[in-house]
Amino acid sequence: MRKILFIFLLLSFVINVKAQNPTLKSITVGKKLSSQCVACHGDNGISVIEEAPNLAGQKELYIWNQLRDYKSGKRQNEMMSIIAKNLTEEEMKDVAAYYGQFKITVAPLK
């Protein structure tokens, strides 16, 4: 049991490190793939419509998991389910790498 737990933790760490260190190639491919995303989520991950969430500031791993959930049907949204259905696993990672690179800064109100 301890061995299984150790392997699980190790795999979680490896996936997390990979998600936090996307390659430049992955980001570049993700930018090209994002052409179908910008109408709602914006070119830089800041939503241009009220119904779509901002992707800027989200972790790459979070974005990738959401895409996987839309593709599998675990999460439902008419538009996102169609888009995710047509993405390969690698393409979902690339899109997540692209949008995951954007950072937002929060400043206190004055």
Would you write out the chain's pLDDT as a tens digit for each of its 110 residues?
776 765 656 556 555 545 556 688 999 999 999 999 999 999 899 999 999 999 999 999 999 999 999 999 999 999 999 999 999 999 999 999 999 999 888 889 88
Please report the pLDDT score of residue 2 as a whole number.
73
Q: Which domains does the chain have, with CATH numbers?
A: 2-100 (1.10.760.10)
90 in Cβ contact with 98 (< 8 Å) = no
Please report the pLDDT score of residue 106 as a whole number.
85
Please report the pLDDT score of residue 23 as a whole number.
85
Residue among 36, 33, 41, 30 nearest 82 (CA): 36
Q: Tell me how far apart the alpha carbons of residues 74 and 1 are, in angstroms, rounded to a whole number.
A: 29
Please report the pLDDT score of residue 24 as a whole number.
87
Query: In terms of pTM, does the model score above 0.85?
Result: no
